[in-house]
A = this chain, B = another copy of it.
């Protein structure tokens, strides 16, 4: 007996200009719709080799243990931290937004002694303050965020990483909103563990977390006094599958990796420099387009994160449509214009919008569409 095929689930055709996911290239969607092979099939393993090689290029590293974790970006953060930390280990975390704060939570749950170095949301971490804390605490791990998705700040990496390495610490870097949209150079910077997500500048769906561990980090994990708390995220076990031996650990998410394969081919075909320039140009268009409407960037010009712009809201938005306000206008953009933008997170909630121009979406025509919709809703067209 044949069962009639139910109707496909459908979603409205949104332009995704929030903090992620961004819109996915049609050929990535087509790749994911290909029939599956097994996770130990030689044909699939060849694609996985390609994915790992291309991720090394994007991360700017030769690290053998560069791979897509089979879970979303937050799991990549957890993977980097729980592999390197044992109970009682000290960590210094730079916190200038929600994701730095999340690293503190993850590290504390792993039993680490956490020292926070806070900075005002919208500003960078001060390298001198980080260096002072590192010298004082002598931590095993120093962790901070390259591209703070909650504030739109691009953090200068080198001085902090150098201070950490000088103190003998391992350096963990959050590259969720930078990988594939901005230069990332793990080896030049001296980073030991980094993680990202696929749903931002890589223009793939959420669901995978590219990570990279230096050989030095991997050696340290192998020398731990107790096993990594997470079996699923233990990089010494992941190395059995993602290294040369291809030993079964867990079942890799085949379809998502087909999509990532194609997403990375698109990045490589465009070229990293051209792609970074496209992200910068799109962000410049956004600032120019929103300025006449009264939006102003939260972040000082030299520290802005091109893929994600955090904009202070004018009174016309804060008081939009009587009491509806900024949340009401975001809902109106979604319902009436099929455009998603992000609200503020944490202390910035209600005060800013986060506008993502990531991956495929980093193009002036998307800025024009957003500005046009806002002009219409704010009566300034």
* Distance A36 CA – B198 CA, assembled complex (angstroms): 13
A34 near B10 (CB under 8 angstroms)? Answer: yes
A41 near B74 (CB under 8 angstroms)? Answer: no
**Interface presence of A315 (CB below 8 A):** no
**Which of chain B's residues have a CB closer than 8 A to the CB of A9?**
31, 34, 47, 50, 258, 261-262, 265
**Interface presence of A43 (CB below 8 A):** yes
Residues of chain A having any CB pair with chain B under 8 Å: 1, 3-14, 16, 18, 20-21, 23-25, 27, 29-39, 41-44, 47, 50, 70-75, 78, 82, 102, 105-106, 108-110, 197, 199, 205-207, 227-232, 248-256, 258-259, 261-262, 265-266, 269-270, 274, 334, 340, 345
User: DSSP majority for the A interface?
Assistant: loop
B21 near A36 (CB under 8 angstroms)? Answer: yes
B78 near A254 (CB under 8 angstroms)? Answer: no
Q: How far is the CB of A309 from chain B (nearest CB, A)?
A: 17
Contact of A207 among B109, B207, B269, B345 (CB under 8 A): B207
Point out which of A12, A18, A231, A262 has the most chain B C-beta atoms below 10 A from its C-beta.
Answer: A231
* Distance A112 CA – B35 CA, assembled complex (angstroms): 41
**Which of chain B's residues have a CB closer than 8 A to the CB of A259?**
255
**Which of chain B's residues have a CB closer than 8 A to the CB of A108?**
227
B73 near A251 (CB under 8 angstroms)? Answer: yes
